[in-house]
A and B are shown apart, each in its own frame.
Chain A
Amino acid sequence: MGMPRSAAAAAEGETLLARSVGDPDAFAEFYAQYCTRISVYFVRRLLDPEVALDLTAETFALALERRRQFRGSTEEEEQGWLFAIARSLLHGYWRKGQVEQTAVARLGLERPSLGTEDIDFLHRQAGLEALRGRLSEALDAVRPDQAAAIRARVLEERDYAAIAAEFRTTPEVIRARVSRGLRTMQRFLGDPVPDGLADT
């Protein structure tokens, strides 16, 4: 998965992230190297490509802002550093039910809209079809109000305002139910498709 690592960076024994300071093309290469794994990491846990894309954008925006603080010298350290940012954002989403987008705003990034091609790509890479049976079991382990919110949001792809109107509550409450329910499902599923890094 991902592009082959830059031969130049590997030959120089330098990580792409370290090389990206002063070299914007190296940062684009760093992104291309990891963006599929990071977005799949979010899709498998949140089952929502829209939220996954927002969190992917924030992960790389934070990585860009903090790249001068990276002190590692190996590809493994580089991956660990990036996934630590992703994990922190995922836990923040589970806790608050909202996607943190402050670094994206600071950098002036515009959220690209997801098309069919993008959604198909993310579903395929995340192997969601293979997970369908287990997802259904996991949904049974979730509180009924949270499961109903997840079905409406993730399976029926309805927006939060419409779901909130149906349940006679606010979109914030629905967001919280969805995010907490997904967290419970994740605990039930464990790590269905290994990312190569444990989600601690």
Chain B
Amino acid sequence: MMVAPHSHDNPVATTDSQMPRRRLLAWLSGFGLFASALLAVVSDWLFFKPRVTYGPNARFAIGKPDDFPPGTRIARDVERVCIVREGNKLAAISTTCTHLGCIVAIADTGFACPCHGSHYDQDGNVTGGPAPKPLPWFQVSLAPNGDIVIDKNAPVDPGTYLTV
């Protein structure tokens, strides 16, 4: 037997057995709407997060090892790295202040930030000011043609040197 097949025309005649079905449909619709909204947020995020950036390359060649004689500490402001050479060991330390992104300058004791007065030692460890983290070190490698290549997307442990 069919039970009130046209119950939606006559809510009073709705039987108990039909209520869960109706509630289930309402619940499913609600869930569907909520899920679509969530999907919209996720797709918006994916849209706004660029897959390609147009800024300078994070991996770049910076010259031959001979350009940096032992004892060198040269801050390259364009690339925002400091090339350090001690003996035959090479390393690249970031010169972007970990506080608010200013460029740190080389100071007698290491690095100093002009914006909010953060200080770092020679290895980039914080010695004063509001900086929350030490300056990161970047991977240094030699290209087949002998160029020093720095990859700012590949942070390495402080104290990691490339022997040339």
A complexed with B: no
Partner-B contacts on A (CB < 8 A): none
